[in-house]
A and B are shown apart, each in its own frame.
Chain A
Amino acid sequence: MLTFRNVSKTYADGTRALAGISVEVARGEILALVGGSGCGKTTLLRLAAGLDTASGGTIRLDGEVLDRPHPGVGLVFQEPRLLPWLTIAQNVGFGLADLSAPERVRRVAHALERVGLAEHADRWPRDLSGGQQQRTAIARAFVAQPKVLLLDEPFSALDAVTRQDLHGHLLGLWAETRPTIVLVTHDVGEAAVLADRAVVLRPKPGRIHDIFAIATPRPVDPDANASTTRQLRAALGASLRASG
């Protein structure tokens, strides 16, 4: 269980990015985090990932306070952030230094297979398309098999078709080890398709506007989700107007 209790963040320059965020994410749940630009989504993930420290409140994983990077928590950044001097396979295996070489090779190969990049294993990041780089980043996070995965708009730079493809990849990966996922997205359709619940944030400072349960079981039929999507979109619109 991943719990946020009354989490707030004020940056050194006085920017109030988050105030009083409380939410519990069940084990294996996929929670979507939607909200307008600048409402604190990235900030919240960085706090949970232990890259920044909260100004108030606590984030816990199964009771353990998360205030520094934790082996059970993986993060996919808003940009791919591949290491340009490593091949795709080496990038995916970056967090597996502690494993034996054969085990590492096996896991990396499997993950690359999963995200459809097996034949690109030995290429440099510079030679891959944006979507392929993003898939590499997702594979890099999944392959370490963390209990919690934080995904910061991993699909935002992609066209609708590639996106749908990646939704499939993501759910495929999720089905293997069932990590808890917090998925940040701008796209309410995406939230409705992928998530069990969606948290809508409102900005200045970032607070929870509303939380929606998304009833449809996976794999998801987009049409069946139309009403949830509509509801979410309305809430998102309201949260954007309600700023301040």
Chain B
Amino acid sequence: MAAGLTDTAEADGREAPASGLPLRGDRVGRAVLGLLLPLGLAIGWEIAVRGGLAQGRLVPPPSRVLATLSDLAASGELWLHVQATLVRVASGFVLGAGLGIALGAVTGTLPLARHLLDPAFQALRAVPSLAWVPLFILWLGILETPKVVLIGVGVFFPVYVGVSGAIASVDRKLVEVGRIFRLSKPALARRILLPAVLPATIVALRTGLGLGFLFVVAAELMGASEGLGYLLVDGQQFGKPEQILAAILTFALLGKAADTILVVLTRPLLRWQDVARDIL
């Protein structure tokens, strides 16, 4: 056990100075650069309000937003809302992404299914998803189900379009490599199609996740007794802009965190990619 631990520590130690450190420094530098503008604005506003240049009633200074946030956190209320929102996004994401991948794969690989289903999906996609809300409420009530379904709809379309498009544009040249080695249909799907569409699928999933957060707000605005969207509505009704901003800030952090987790989890799958990201 102890030996195992030492081994990993050593392995890490060997790698870090070689490539890890300079890269990490670079990344920190970039993060700082990205924070400069929002931090500057926040600090500027804080100073303006404290110095009496502005009232800060409708746009509360960052300190008041943070105080609200920490109050909510201390009372445990915040976690309740965060949890409610995350459970909805997660359920909707699993639903929408699962169906999007499955149906995208089917229409991408089977021409018959494509001709049968794709026109209908494309037509449905043209409907602004929020237009479904009244129908969902009529059909599914106002509890959790319509919310999750709405989020699922929001996630479904980018994932479906991304996956079926990616499969349709897999390089014929690589498929021929599979044919030369006489792969069966399932083997071809697993060994050529799947890895080939993975990068586009992950991009589609990221888009879908972003839309999931967009739609959870809409879903919670349509009536909820908990969730970050509820905090928004509550803040508006009782004139608490700091609560609204606190909820928005939390949304931003959660959205970014969820995206980052997705990226980090999938990065090992894409190490082989030859992309321009690092030179642009």
Chain B residues at the A interface, C-beta cutoff of 8 Å: 173-174, 176-177, 179-182, 187, 191-192, 195-196, 198, 271-274
Complex: how many Å from CA A81 to CA B180? Answer: 12
Choose one: B179, B181, B182, B272; the contact of A85 (CB below 8 Å): B272
- Check A79 against B173 for contact (C-beta < 8 Å): yes
A74-98: CB near B (< 8 Å → 1, else 0) gives 1101010101111000000011010
A168-190: CB near B (< 8 Å → 1, else 0) gives 00000000000000000000000
Interface flag for A237 (CB, 8 Å) = no
- Check A144 against B274 for contact (C-beta < 8 Å): no
Interface of B is mostly: helix
Complex: how many Å from CA A96 to CA B178? Answer: 12
Q: How far is the CB of A142 from chain B (nearest CB, A)?
A: 13
B195: A residues at CB distance < 8 A: 83, 85
A99: B residues at CB distance < 8 A: none
Number of interface residues of A (CB under 8 A): 22
B182: A residues at CB distance < 8 A: 69-71
- Check B173 against A81 for contact (C-beta < 8 Å): yes
- Check A77 against B173 for contact (C-beta < 8 Å): yes
Interface flag for A49 (CB, 8 Å) = yes
Choose one: B180, B192, B196, B271; the contact of A75 (CB below 8 Å): B180
Residue of A nearest to B171 (CB): A81
- Check A49 against B180 for contact (C-beta < 8 Å): yes
- Check B272 against A124 for contact (C-beta < 8 Å): yes
Choose one: A49, A81, A144; the contact of B174 (CB below 8 Å): A81
A45-74: CB near B (< 8 Å → 1, else 0) gives 000011100000000000000000111001
A81: B residues at CB distance < 8 A: 173-174, 176-177
- Check B173 against A126 for contact (C-beta < 8 Å): no
Complex: how many Å from CA A70 to CA B174? Answer: 18
Q: What 4 additional pairs, Cβ within 8 angstroms, besides A49-B180, A94-B191, A95-B181?
A: A50-B179, A69-B181, A81-B174, A85-B272
B274: A residues at CB distance < 8 A: 84, 124, 126
Complex: how many Å from CA A108 to CA B191? Answer: 18
Complex: how many Å from CA A146 to CA B273? Answer: 31
A117-130: CB near B (< 8 Å → 1, else 0) gives 00000001110000
A125: B residues at CB distance < 8 A: 272
- Check B181 against A144 for contact (C-beta < 8 Å): yes
